[in-house]
Structure 1
Amino acid sequence: MHMNDKIPLIREKALWMRRTAFAMVHRAQLGHPGGDFSAIDILATLYFGVMRFDPKRPDWPDRDRFVMSKGHATGALYTALCAAGYFPEDWLATYMQPRSLLNGHPNRNYLPGIETNTGPLGHGFPVATGIAIAGQLAGAGYRTFVLTGDGEQQEGSNWEAAMVAGHRRLSNLTLIIDRNRLQQGAGTEETSGLDPLDKRYDAFGFDVTEVDGHDPAALLAVLGAAPGSKPRCVIANTTKGKGVSFMENVASWHHGVPNDAQFEQAMKELV
């Protein structure tokens, strides 16, 4: 299939993921919908346009690996895994319920398709770097993709991982930064400035590309490209709460939950 032929499917899945994730948060009255919605187009592109995987064989050795380092964005991750066929859709109705397999942070012991437990920020990128090192040492053909938040970049463990990845020239590793410029309570640049983020990763030995994180064609072109000779950093410029007017670029929707009227309005907008 030509890359452009995948775009309608990616858009269809992303819309379903937004509607479904918001319904999950509304039902549970818990979650992080703002960051879910900034990341969903990225996940839809990875799962339905880029990565090699087999949901019937979650431990297939040659699968591409994905690590959701911004582990609070489970609405995005769980809907992606469900849409990709890892578990039945009716499981989503249990989101955040007592003893549910779909709890607030992803747990590899509960659900297939999760490579590592995440939640405490700054852990996923180092683990993904280790996964990529293992692939490099084994001469394996899989690629490792990891999605971090931009506020998460303030964790020092990311920069230790970047130093190692650049030194080892992990061409099988792609770091994607969800650059929505908002974190819990405030903007990233007000909290601890990250710019110039591109030059920082370039200095650590990464091939750096900036892309519209809501454009499947642009994401496909970057994420689907053959690996080069360095690890790749993709700065995906996104909008927190993308697709719902009252959520977009509003910091309080980092962990806000909708009332019934807001839910109905969002469903009218997400078409």
Structure 2
Amino acid sequence: MMHFTDKELEIKSAQYRKALLKYIKLAKAGHTGGSLSCTDILNVLYNDVMNVGSENFSDCNRDRFIQSKGHSVEALYVVLADKGFFPETDLETLCQYKSKYMGHPTRKVAGVEFNTGALGHGLPISAGIALAAKKDKAAYRVFTLLGDGELAEGSNWEAAMMAAHYKLDNLIAILDHNALQITGPNREVCSPYPIAEKWEAFGWKVVETNGNNIAELRKTLKKIPAKNGKPTFVIANTIKGKGVSFMENEKKWHHGVPSDNQYDLAVKEIEAELEQLTVFK
């Protein structure tokens, strides 16, 4: 794995955000806000933490990643393209008829471990894979990314109980905690709070971090497992729509396609950020 500085990863995040907006605009469909909020998490996982890439995806000892919040697939696709799983130009077919690049992850796409999209499925799948690794005495780890609105799904809690029972310290669940879902704030729709206390009660080691801060994310995720003998639950506090001022903390951008004018404004903001990052590189 190449070693990147914090600044280089910050540049990558901005480039990923610019790319995913491009393909959402072309597709005329996409979960914009959640893709923008989890971009930094995927960036750090694939470029700094996980032992997985296009060169070793067939290796049974690779780390596994399951995107449980499958609707934010645009962020995953641009990261997988950057990691060499497929040419980025493939994403010009996103959500088009007969394209394998659909609005949720599918194993037809190189680099995707499992089909996801029905919320609440990613953690149970990941727990099963982690248990298999323990039985096989394999060293690989299993990472899964959950949405905070997804915590209303009961299957998460069944998997949480099972993972703690089997002491799956090779399992890392990361929560993209942007506090918004499609119909409003989590607290008003179906409150998952207090999140940390609930997961601790289920037997997990809980850590909290800034999910949109590259340096802090790297430091947190490098300390996995957070406690031997316990699965790790990372609460990554993020901003929905991160990186585009008029999309940030706005529920209407859970799913939304920018107009021509909005797209131009968003790209200008990201390009200004890239210019600043490059100048001070």
Partners of 1:205 and 1:150 in 2: CA distance:
19
Partners of 2:41 and 2:33 in 1: CA distance:
14
Partners of 1:33 and 1:203 in 2: CA distance:
33
**TM-score w.r.t. structure 2 length?**
0.93
2:5 is paired with a residue whose SS is: helix
Q: Are the equivalent residues in 1 in contact too, given 2:129–2:142 (CA < 8 A)?
A: yes
Picking from 170, 178, 200, the partner of 2:198 is: 200
Match of residue 231 from structure 1: 231
Gaps of at least 5 residues in structure 1 are none
Gaps of at least 5 residues in structure 2 are 272-281
Match of residue 264 from structure 1: 264
Partners of 2:240 and 2:16 in 1: CA distance:
15
Q: Are the equivalent residues in 2 in contact too, given 1:33–1:256 (CA < 8 A)?
A: yes
Shift of 1:256: 1.1
Give the fraction of aligned pairs with identical amino acids, expressed as a percent.
Answer: 45
Q: Are the equivalent residues in 2 in contact too, given 1:147–1:176 (CA < 8 A)?
A: yes
Q: Root-mean-square deviation (CA), in Å?
A: 1.4
**TM-score w.r.t. structure 1 length?**
0.96
1:243 aligns with 2:268: no
1:95 aligns with 2:75: no
Partners of 2:187 and 2:109 in 1: CA distance:
35
1:17 aligns with 2:16: yes
1:107 aligns with 2:106: yes
Partners of 2:92 and 2:269 in 1: CA distance:
22
Deviations 1:174-229 (A, max 9, x none): 00000000001111000111111000001111110111000111111111224231
Shift of 1:8: 2.4
Partners of 2:100 and 2:2 in 1: CA distance:
36
Partners of 2:239 and 2:37 in 1: CA distance:
5
Q: Are the equivalent residues in 2 in contact too, given 1:38–1:178 (CA < 8 A)?
A: yes
Picking from 189, 192, 198, the partner of 1:191 is: 189
Partners of 1:70 and 1:226 in 2: CA distance:
21
1:59 is paired with a residue whose SS is: coil
Match of residue 119 from structure 2: 121
4+ residue segments displaced more than 4 Å = none
Match of residue 149 from structure 1: 147
One-letter amino acid of the counterpart of residue 209, structure 1: V
Deviations 1:22-63 (A, max 9, x none): 011111110101000010000000001101113034221111
Match of residue 83 from structure 1: 82
Q: Are the equivalent residues in 1 in contact too, given 2:40–2:211 (CA < 8 A)?
A: yes
Aligned length: 269
